[in-house]
């Protein structure tokens, strides 16, 4: 009984140390404006859109490659350190089982892109990481994706990896880079290269309307790039529109301006000017200079503000 009581004290101390480390990492992340959130499987699914899943079975999984959770991603940070005091009772019970070498059931994980997300066993993963355990027994279901992930990725890193994959796939499938080596198309969000393919196919459809024989995809692609995409991007550059849309790309604005232009032509006049449409889009939806200055200032001080609030109250700032 004395031994168990001593181990219970040790488990409580382990939890206190884990909470202290979580507090420290939260402050560091706030000061550096970095992301310490545990990844949500639901969000990752929405970005990667896995096409199938398969049961892998029981295996020893590297604890360092477990990066997220299906349902408890708000209770732990990205290093699986506990974020809330109410986790103590369950966390210390699991830690006590670890200290007494009591067998625990295997955790249940999803694998996607080479990393893992917890279906069941978040506290067991948290204790394992805190105790320096390298491998954990897990029952694994694999979700299919061609995008390779790394444990260091934040949600934004994940989005950028998917964008890079979609970009590579777009240029490989269309052959545009070989035909127009200066073509430099990039997006700030996922899923938009698929929209470009729709634009190209729609352009091909209209080109074919007055042709006795269907034109090749290659010809439609070059026509779209030279007579649709490039003129819109040229206007975006001439109007310096990117200044009003921080963090966005010329291709983002091409999509939005072309949508807006189509809407205006449909509502008012099929001959509506592209330049006027671009100016109208910027005026309606772009940030003014005062707004941009405020946004820049807010980004500069928000990290410091979160850190100071946590230091003064012991509670995380709302995000």
Q: Please give the model's pTM, rounded to 2 decimal places.
A: 0.77
For the chain, the domains span: 2-149, 155-286
Q: Which residues contact 287 (CB under 8 A, 6 or more apart)?
A: 244, 245, 246, 295
pLDDT in tens, the chain (319 residues): 545 668 889 999 999 999 999 999 988 888 877 788 899 999 999 999 998 999 999 999 999 999 999 989 999 999 999 999 999 999 999 999 999 988 899 999 999 999 999 999 999 999 999 999 999 999 999 999 999 999 989 888 999 999 999 999 999 999 999 999 999 999 999 999 999 999 999 999 999 998 889 999 999 999 999 999 999 999 999 999 999 999 999 999 999 999 999 999 999 998 999 999 999 999 999 886 455 444 444 444 454 454 444 444 444 444 4
The H-or-E segment that residue 60 falls in is: strand 53-62
Q: Which tokens hold the place of 240?
A: 């310096």
Cα angle value 281/287/289 (rounded, 5°): 125
Contact between 142 and 113 under an 8 Å Cβ cutoff? The reply is no
Predicted pLDDT at 141: 97
Q: Which CATH class, in words, describes the domain spanning 2-149?
A: alpha beta
């Amino acid at each position: 009984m004395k031994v168990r009581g001593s181990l219970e004290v040790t488990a409580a101390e382990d939890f206190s140390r884990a909470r202290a480390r979580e507090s420290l990492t939260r402050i560091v992340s706030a000061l550096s404006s970095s992301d310490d959130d545990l990844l949500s499987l639901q969000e990752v699914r929405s970005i990667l859109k896995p096409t199938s899943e398969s049961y892998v079975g029981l295996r020893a999984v590297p604890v360092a490659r477990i990066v997220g959770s299906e349902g408890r991603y708000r209770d732990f940070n990205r290093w699986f350190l506990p974020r809330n005091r109410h986790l103590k009772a369950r966390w210390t019970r699991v830690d006590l089982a670890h200290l007494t070498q009591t067998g625990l059931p295997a955790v249940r994980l999803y694998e996607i892109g080479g990393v893992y997300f917890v279906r069941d066993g978040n506290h067991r993963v948290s204790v394992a990481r805190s105790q320096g355990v390298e491998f954990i027994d897990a029952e694994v279901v694999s979700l299919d994706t061609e995008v390779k992930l790394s444990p260091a990725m934040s949600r934004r890193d994940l989005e950028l990896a998917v964008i890079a994959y979609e970009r590579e796939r777009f240029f490989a499938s269309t052959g545009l880079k070989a035909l127009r080596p200066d073509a430099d198309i990039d997006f700030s969000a996922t899923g938009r290269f698929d929209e470009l393919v729709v634009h190209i196919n729609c352009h091909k459809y209209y080109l074919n309307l007055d042709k006795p024989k269907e034109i090749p995809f290659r010809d439609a692609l070059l026509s779209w790039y030279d007579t649709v995409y490039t003129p819109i991007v040229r206007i975006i550059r001439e109007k310096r529109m990117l200044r009003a849309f921080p963090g966005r790309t010329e291709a983002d604005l091409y999509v939005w301006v072309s949508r807006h232009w189509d809407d205006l032509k449909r509502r008012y006049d099929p001959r509506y000017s592209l330049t006027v449409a671009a100016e109208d889009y910027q005026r309606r939806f772009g940030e003014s200079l005062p707004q941009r200055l405020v946004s820049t200032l807010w980004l500069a001080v928000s990290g410091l503000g979160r850190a100071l609030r946590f230091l003064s109250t012991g509670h995380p700032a709302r995000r």
